[in-house]
Amino acid sequence: MVTERIQHVIKLSPSEVKDFVRAAEKCDFDVDISYGHVVVDAKSILGILGLDLTRKLTVSFFGKNEAFESYLASFAV
């Protein structure tokens, strides 16, 4: 079990949101995506589309999923 919060700073376009959510749904732990004080569930398409996607976003979670982390690397800022 991971006891430290893992964070990745990414940038998403609206066309990438659907695939991002599918990747997050494969995680057996909660995944959040945020900027500033706005935090939404990363497994929610509607929640992510409600964010300002022109900003850098922070993905954070307590868990380990190598496939998801390597997927996040493709969006790294």
Quote the pLDDT of residue 2.
76
Statement: residue 3 has pLDDT above 90:
no
Interval 32-77: pLDDT, tens: 999 999 999 999 999 999 999 999 999 999 999 999 999 999 999 9
CA distance 15 to 8: 20
Sorted by where each starts, the structural domains of the chain and their CATH numbers stand as 6-73 (3.30.1340.10)
Quick one: average pLDDT of 17-21? 97
Band (pLDDT 50/70/90 cuts) for residue 1 is low
- The stretches of 1-77 forming alpha helices (DSSP H) are 17-25, 45-49, 66-73
